[in-house]
């Protein structure tokens, strides 16, 4: 029995873990927190134990599946990969590159393999039909950050360890463990704020597990955040409390913001938002008067109708109270590995083309996932005829899941790279399962960009891969080279090509010192003999902000340096980064981007529209992870979780009883779910978790099927979108009646 260090890949908290393994048997005996991880300090949540169950899950696919005569059958790797390429290629040859769509799911953000080689596959496809879970998640924040700061991931992170005042809107880190805020052990960090005399204020239509830890909880009507925050900002201007602090001289659009805010006094928005005017003004003063304060918004502020406006307003509040870019406020990271770090161009990539059927804007090269079904089902030139999903389950994650399932079933070719035969992948012609997460190296390139301290931790694979089973990056690269007509080229050669390309791209705009004056060829030679994701990571680390510049900066970071520090490195608290971090065209933070100002018309319409009788919101649960951890007994056991939570007053009014069943109906569809009564919900708001509905034919999820629940995304509406194209999964108008 040996103990091996790893990083839990299951959520954004990036907890260091110790995995007890029997390497001979390839078996996992147990998982515990790594007390010597300087960031997580031994903290884990129940999901970490799920890693063992995940590794052992008999339903987790160990061999590829290929559809033969209508049925998915086990196949060898060469055959399955060949079959996938042939089927996709046939569609491309017949209908063009844009006939093949690709959807990347959430675990992509937790996997070096998919981060790097998913992009290679996308480039090989050369398709405009790109989708990901981003557009059912954080896209509004990315659009607002790109417009304000010049980069989609230039997102300010609340400095929770130093703040005196944390205002949380639409996030439940006590269940989610934090998002767009990598902060392991977040519950302790929140408790520490109040313990040191600070305040935590939670604004949420539900009195959540996080609200229970907070100094104050304020109910808000779903969708009300932008109006609430603008009204708070109006108070700040009216009372002469606006100050820019560190970013003075680095912003533009302040006068415009003053004029905008003047239109949203607390008294105008109070009734519709569900927060009285006195409370709005008090919240504003508290934020401005605190020695330091940070405003933080998450899914409740992004996956809603006014998500981009709300995301913008969150950062505006930070700017206007002098809290952007100062310790204890909202700050930017200095990540150790940052792709494209030296690119100086502004990277607002929005609306450069539009979706064929609904004319929706592209964002960061992707189209809204809510319109994928349209692009498949609507015949004509440019219709999608094939789909690759990588680490995604859009049938359960995207609004209009039933229609999407029908659309996927109608395709000429479907390939899935996934560890499960789930509600989406069961429709595929070929499923290519990557190895267990414990059999791959791990470094959180994406999540460390959003961490509350600068940190770096590399974990080599805990277990060996099964003989003959390719790594996920090898699966993706094999597909890519096959689709580029280079199927016969050795994988190692294709990988050298990928590394060469990345080196050239990273060095193109970089000052010569980051490579210690080396040419691209010399850099490539210095990265040998590493290959795969580890080589690409080493490049980013060595040319990165903390890098060793290939020896020119002794003591700097490299993958070797991280290998020598297996518990991870703490690179310190967040530091002021403005103006360096700002990449807008003129180098100034844009407080009033035209796209966002233009969207205020929708906010006005929202304010004028009466609140729906009942609005549906989502709910995350600690022992769950979107749609894919319901097949693990230790996590799913216990009382039924896919329940409709209803306030008792609403229940009385609507004729619902605890334990009875309710039919939830929207414009888009309906589900029937068991009722749970609780006054934690704001009256007029009901809540149903997502990721359930595990009764689809063909899926191989025996445990999940026994806890099937219903798919809330049959009720959420593919037509209800934010200006960014993100789905409004929260605040869906519904009617609720006994079933
Ligand atoms: N109504 C409603 N809908 C929502 C949300 C909501 O709040 N409410 N939340 C949205 C959000 S924030 C998100 S991120 C999306 C998630 O949407 P998706 O990403 O589409 O769905 P997941 O359930 O995360 O599915 C992840 C898939 O990846 C597979 N997988 C796990 N690990 C690996 C791996 O290492 N490699 C590969 N190839 N596959 C792997 C799993 O088996 C699973 O099939 O759902 C969204 N949908
Ligand atoms: N255990 C667990 N952890 C997870 C996940 C999981 O499924 N399970 N999923 C992961 C993923 S993919 C993500 S993106 C993150 C998400 O991380 P969080 O955003 O922290 O997750 P949620 O629990 O969905 O919190 C959203 C909150 O918004 C509230 N809300 C809904 N509508 C509104 C609104 O209009 N205004 C306001 N102010 N609040 C509103 C909801 O009541 C809820 O409390 O969590 C990640 N971590
Ligand atoms: S908080 Fe997230 S990263 Fe930490 S153990 Fe739980 S699931 Fe894993
Ligand atoms: Mo997400």
Q: How many domains does the chain have?
A: 5
- Are residues 252 and 211 part of one domain? yes
**Looking at residue 365, which CATH number applies to its domain?**
3.40.50.740
d(CA 678, CA 645): 7
d(CA 451, CA 668): 37
| Dihedral, CA of residue 72, residue 75, residue 78 and residue 80, to nearest 10 | 0
- Are residues 185 and 291 part of one domain? yes
d(CA 498, CA 617): 43
Classify residue 343 by burial, with Cβ atoms within 10 Å: 0-12, 13-18, 19+: middle
Return the closest-CA partner of residue 374 out of 356, 392, 362: 356
d(CA 501, CA 509): 14
**Looking at residue 312, which CATH number applies to its domain?**
3.40.228.10
User: Is the CB of residue 657 less than 8 Å from the CB of residue 587?
Assistant: no
Evaluate if residue 25 carries a pLDDT over 90.
no
Assign 141 to helix, strand or coil. helix
Token pair in block for residue 564: 């020598």
- Ligand 1 pocket member 420 (CB < 6 A): yes
- Ligand 1 pocket member 111 (CB < 6 A): yes
pLDDT tens per residue across span 575-594: 999 999 999 999 999 999 99
pLDDT confidence bin for 346, thresholds 50/70/90? low
pLDDT confidence bin for 508, thresholds 50/70/90? very high
- Are residues 389 and 468 part of one domain? yes
Evaluate if residue 271 carries a pLDDT over 80.
yes
Q: What are phi and psi of 553, to 5 degrees?
A: -125, 85
**What is the domain range of residue 85?**
60-128+360-450+460-487
Average pLDDT of span 133-150 = 97
- Ligand 3 pocket member 185 (CB < 6 A): no
Token pair in block for residue 253: 């659009």
Assign 636 to helix, strand or coil. helix
Closest ligand 1 atom to 417 CA: 38
In Å, how far are 29, 454, 641 from 52, measured between CA atoms? 7, 29, 22
In a domain, 549, yes or no: yes
Global pTM?
0.98
Evaluate if residue 509 carries a pLDDT over 80.
yes
What is the reported pLDDT for 532?
Answer: 98
Q: Which ligand is nearest to the CA of 299?
A: 2
- Are residues 91 and 50 part of one domain? no
- The rounded Cα 336 to chain-centroid distance in angstroms is 20
- Ligand 1 pocket member 141 (CB < 6 A): no
In a domain, 143, yes or no: no
What is the reported pLDDT for 380?
Answer: 95
Q: Which ligand is nearest to the CA of 393?
A: 1
In a domain, 580, yes or no: no
pLDDT tens per residue across span 50-65: 999 999 999 999 999 9
Q: 297 forms bridges with which residues in the sheet?
A: 169
Evaluate if residue 347 carries a pLDDT over 80.
no
Average pLDDT in the chain: 97
pLDDT confidence bin for 26, thresholds 50/70/90? confident
Average pLDDT of span 634-644 = 95
Evaluate if residue 732 carries a pLDDT over 70.
yes
Q: How many CA atoms lie within 13 A of 696 on its CB side?
A: 26
Average pLDDT of span 681-686 = 98
What is the reported pLDDT for 572?
Answer: 98
Assign 721 to helix, strand or coil. strand
Evaluate if residue 631 carries a pLDDT over 80.
yes
User: Is the CB of residue 678 less than 8 Å from the CB of residue 205?
Assistant: no
- Are residues 106 and 44 part of one domain? no
- Ligand 3 pocket member 13 (CB < 6 A): yes
Residue ID of nearest Cα to ligand 2 atom 42: 206
- Are residues 318 and 253 part of one domain? yes
Q: What are phi and psi of 345, to 5 degrees?
A: -60, 145
Q: What are phi and psi of 638, to 5 degrees?
A: 105, -170
Evaluate if residue 497 carries a pLDDT over 80.
yes
pLDDT confidence bin for 476, thresholds 50/70/90? very high
- Ligand 1 pocket member 136 (CB < 6 A): yes
For 273, which DSSP code? H
Spatial CB neighbours of 568, under 8 Å, sequence gap ≥ 6: 7, 16, 37, 38, 39, 455, 456, 457, 458, 562
In Å, how far are 69, 247, 403, 451, 552 from 668, measured between CA atoms? 34, 45, 10, 37, 59
pLDDT tens per residue across span 315-335: 999 999 999 999 999 999 999
Q: Which of 52, 182, 184 to mutate to test the pocket of ligand 3 (most atoms within 8 A of CB)?
A: 184
pLDDT confidence bin for 23, thresholds 50/70/90? confident
In a domain, 122, yes or no: yes
Angle (deg, nearest 10), helices 307-320 and 139-149:
50
Rama region for 274: left / alpha / beta (φ>0; ψ in -120 to 50; rest): left
Name which residue leads in pLDDT, 374 or 26. 374
Q: Which ligand is nearest to the CA of 715?
A: 1
Closest ligand 1 atom to 433 CA: 38
Return the closest-CA partner of residue 613 out of 727, 719, 737: 737
Token pair in block for residue 721: 């979108």
For residue 240, cis peptide bond before it (omega within 30 degrees of 0): no
- Are residues 528 and 480 part of one domain? no
Token pair in block for residue 279: 């409370």
Centroid of ligand 3 to alpha carbon of 596 (angstroms): 35
If you write DSSP's letter for every residue of 53-98 in order, what string do you get?
Answer: HHHH-TTS--S-EEEETTEEEE--HHHHHHHHHHHHHHHHHHH-GG
pLDDT tens per residue across span 349-406: 899 999 999 999 999 999 999 999 999 999 999 999 999 999 999 999 999 999 999 9
Token pair in block for residue 488: 């016969």
Average pLDDT of span 644-660 = 98
Average pLDDT of span 552-567 = 97
Q: Which ligand is nearest to the CA of 220?
A: 2
- Are residues 161 and 192 part of one domain? yes
d(CA 527, CA 529): 6
Average pLDDT of span 180-198 = 98
Using the structure block, give the residue that is written with the tokens 């334990």. Answer: 659
pLDDT tens per residue across span 684-717: 999 999 999 999 999 999 999 999 999 999 999 9
Q: What are phi and psi of 729, to 5 degrees?
A: -80, -15
Task: Among 56, 71, 96, identify where a domain stops.
Answer: 56
In a domain, 72, yes or no: yes
Evaluate if residue 24 carries a pLDDT over 90.
no
Spatial CB neighbours of 430, under 8 Å, sequence gap ≥ 6: 64, 65, 66, 67, 80, 83, 84, 87, 414, 415, 416
d(CA 427, CA 447): 31
Instruction: Give the Cβ contact number of residue 51 at 10 Å.
Output: 24
- Ligand 1 pocket member 118 (CB < 6 A): no
Q: Which residues line ligand 2 (CB under 6 A)?
A: 11, 106, 137, 169-173, 175-177, 179, 203-206, 208, 220, 222-223, 225, 298-301, 304, 617-618, 620-622, 624-626, 730-731
- Ligand 3 pocket member 173 (CB < 6 A): no
Q: What are phi and psi of 32, to 5 degrees?
A: -140, 170
pLDDT confidence bin for 413, thresholds 50/70/90? very high
- Ligand 1 pocket member 394 (CB < 6 A): yes
**Looking at residue 724, which CATH number applies to its domain?**
2.40.40.20
- Are residues 537 and 515 part of one domain? yes
In a domain, 532, yes or no: yes
- Are residues 292 and 306 part of one domain? yes
In a domain, 296, yes or no: yes
- Are residues 247 and 169 part of one domain? yes
The H or E element spanning position 193 is helix 186-195
Evaluate if residue 256 carries a pLDDT over 70.
yes
- Are residues 319 and 191 part of one domain? yes
pLDDT confidence bin for 343, thresholds 50/70/90? confident
Q: How far apart are the first and last CA of the chain?
A: 54
Average pLDDT of span 209-217 = 98
In a domain, 50, yes or no: yes
């Amino acid at each position: 029995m040996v103990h091996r260090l790893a990083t839990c890949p299951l959520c954004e908290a990036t907890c260091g873990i110790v995995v007890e393994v029997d390497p001979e048997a390839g078996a996992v005996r147990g998982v515990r927190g790594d007390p010597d991880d300087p960031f997580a300090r031994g903290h884990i949540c129940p999901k970490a134990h799920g890693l063992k169950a995940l590794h052992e899950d008999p339903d987790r696919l160990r061999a590829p599946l290929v559809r033969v005569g209508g049925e998915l059958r086990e196949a060898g790797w060469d055959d399955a990969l060949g079959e996938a390429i042939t089927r996709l290629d046939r569609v491309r040859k017949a209908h063009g590159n844009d006939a093949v769509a690709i959807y990347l799911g959430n675990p992509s953000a937790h996997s070096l393999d998919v981060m790097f080689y998913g992009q290679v596959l996308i480039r090989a496809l050369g398709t405009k039909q790109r989708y990901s879970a981003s557009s059912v998640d954080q896209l509004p924040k990315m659009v607002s950050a790109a417009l304000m700061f010049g980069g989609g991931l230039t997102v300010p992170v609340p400095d929770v360890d130093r703040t005196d005042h944390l205002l949380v809107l639409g996030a439940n880190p006590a269940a989610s463990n934090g998002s767009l805020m990598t902060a392991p052990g977040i519950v302790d960090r929140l408790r520490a704020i109040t313990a040191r005399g600070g305040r935590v204020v939670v604004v949420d239509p539900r009195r959540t597990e996080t609200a229970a830890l907070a100094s104050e909880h304020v109910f808000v009507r779903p969708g009300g955040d932008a109006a609430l925050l603008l009204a708070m900002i109006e108070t700040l201007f009216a009372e002469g409390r606006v100050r820019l602090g560190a970013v003075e001289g680095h912003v533009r659009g302040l006068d415009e913001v003053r004029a905008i805010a003047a239109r949203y006094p607390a008294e105008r928005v109070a009734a519709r938002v569900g927060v009285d005017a006195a409370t709005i003004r008090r919240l504003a003063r508290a934020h401005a008067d605190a020695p330091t304060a940070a405003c933080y918004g998450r899914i409740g502020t992004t996956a809603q109708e006014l998500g981009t406006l709300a995301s913008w307003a969150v950062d505006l509040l930070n700017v206007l109270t002098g809290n952007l870019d100062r310790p204890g406020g909202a700050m930017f990271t200095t990540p150790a590995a940052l792709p494209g770090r030296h690119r100086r161009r502004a990277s607002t990539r929005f609306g450069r083309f539009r979706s064929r059927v609904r004319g929706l804007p592209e964002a960061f090269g992707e189209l809204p996932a809510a319109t994928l079904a349209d692009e498949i089902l609507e015949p004509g030139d440019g219709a999608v005829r094939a789909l690759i999903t990588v680490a995604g389950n859009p049938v359960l994650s995207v609004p209009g899941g039933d229609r999407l399932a029908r659309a996927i079933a109608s395709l000429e070719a479907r390939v899935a790279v996934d560890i499960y035969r789930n509600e989406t992948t069961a429709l595929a012609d070929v499923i290519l399962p990557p190895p267990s997460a414990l059999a791959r190296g791990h470094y959180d390139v994406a999540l460390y960009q959003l961490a509350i301290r600068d940190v770096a931790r590399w974990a080599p694979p805990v277990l060996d891969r099964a003989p003959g089973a390719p790594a996920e990056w090898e699966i993706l690269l094999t597909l890519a080279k096959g689709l580029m007509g280079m199927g016969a080229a050795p994988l190692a050669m294709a990988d050298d090509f990928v590394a060469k390309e990345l080196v050239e791209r990273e060095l193109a705009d970089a000052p010569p010192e980051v490579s210690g004056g080396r040419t691209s060829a010399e850099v490539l030679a210095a990265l040998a003999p590493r290959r795969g994701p580890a080589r690409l990571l080493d490049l980013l680390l060595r040319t990165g902000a903390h890098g060793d510049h290939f020896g020119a900066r002794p003591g700097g970071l490299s993958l070797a340096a991280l290998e020598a520090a297996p518990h991870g490195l703490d690179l310190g608290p967040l530091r002021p980064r403005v103006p360096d971090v700002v990449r807008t065209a003129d180098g100034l933070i844009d407080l009033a981007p035209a796209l966002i100002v233009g969207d205020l018309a929708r906010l006005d319409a929202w304010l004028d529209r009466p609140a729906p009788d009942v609005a549906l919101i989502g709910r995350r649960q600690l022992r769950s992870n979107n749609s894919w951890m319901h097949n693990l007994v230790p996590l799913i056991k216990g009382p039924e979780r896919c329940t409709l939570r209803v306030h008792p007053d609403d229940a009385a009014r609507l004729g619902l009883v605890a334990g009875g069943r309710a039919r939830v109906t929207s414009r888009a569809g309906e589900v029937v779910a068991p009722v749970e009564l609780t006054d934690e919900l704001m009256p007029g708001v009901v809540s149903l978790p997502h990721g359930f509905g595990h009764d689809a034919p063909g899926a191989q999820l025996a445990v999940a099927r026994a806890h099937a629940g219903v798919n809330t995304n049959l009720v959420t509406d593919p037509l209800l979108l934010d200006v960014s194209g993100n789905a409004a999964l929260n605040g869906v108008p519904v009617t609720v009646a006994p079933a």
